Amino acid sequence: SDFEKEKKDIEEAIIKLRSAIKKLNNDGKEKILNAFTLVNKNFKRVFENLFGGGKAKIEFLDINDPLNSGIQILASPPGKKLQSLSLFSGGEKALTALSLLFAIYLTNPSPIFLLDEVDAPLDDTNVGMLCNFLERLKSETHTKFIIITHHRITMSKMDRLYGVTMSEKGVSQIVSVDLEKAIEIDAN
C-alpha cells in the first residue's frame, strides 16, 4: 500500500539523516581536536615568549564532548604555580589573554592584524615584552600590525605613526610619521 511505502521511505530517510549527523559530528570532533592541539601548542610557545618563561595550556572541560565543552586556561608565569586565570593580576591576565589570541592567530596568520589598546592594562616592562614579541611575529609572518595606542613605549617601537590633531577648533587632521625615515634623516 501507499501508506506502507511512505512509512518505509520515511524510516530510510531517518536512518540516512542519523548517519549523516553522526558523520558530521565525527568530522567536526576531529577538526576541533586538531585545531585545539595546534592552538594549545602555539599557546605554550607564545606564553613562554611573552612572559620570558613559565608554562601554559588550555584544556577541554569535557574531553568526551569537545563540540559542546567549555575550555579552561591554566598558566604559570615564571616562579608561580600552575593556576586558573582568575587568580592572576590584571597585567598577567592581559598577557595570558594576548598569548591565547596570538596562538589562535598563528594557526592561520592574516596579512593585517588590528590591536586596539591591548597595552593599556600592562606596565612598562610588559609593554616592552609585548612590543618585542610583535617585532618577532612581524618578521615570522609578514603581517602588518595596526595598533591603536596611547602608550609612549608602544609608539616608540613602531615603524610608522598616524595621529589625529586639531590645529584649529573643529578641524581634525591626520598626521603621519615614518619613524625609519626620520631616523635616517637624523643620522645625516
pLDDT tens figures, 56-114:
999 999 988 888 889 999 999 888 887 777 788 888 889 999 999 999 999 999 999 99
Tell if the pTM clears 0.85, that is, is over it: no
Any residues with CB less than 8 A from the CB of 153 and at least 6 apart, and which? 119, 124, 127, 128, 131
| CA dist., res. 99 & res. 10, Å (int) | 50
The residue type found at 182 is A
* Average pLDDT, integer, range 30-51: 94
Grid cell 590633531 in the structure block, residue? 165
Cα dihedral 150, 156, 161, 162 in deg (nearest 10): 20
Select from 1, 63, 75, 13 the least CA-distant residue to 36: 63
The residue type found at 110 is S
Beta bridge partners of residue 177, listed in sequence order: 161
| CA dist., res. 185 & res. 24, Å (int) | 60
| CA dist., res. 168 & res. 107, Å (int) | 46
Any residues with CB less than 8 A from the CB of 126 and at least 6 apart, and which? 91, 94, 95
Quick check: 42 and 106 in contact, CB under 8 A?
yes
- pLDDT at 1 exceeding the cut of 80: no
What does the pLDDT read at residue 166? 82
- pLDDT at 150 exceeding the cut of 60: yes
What does the pLDDT read at residue 183? 62
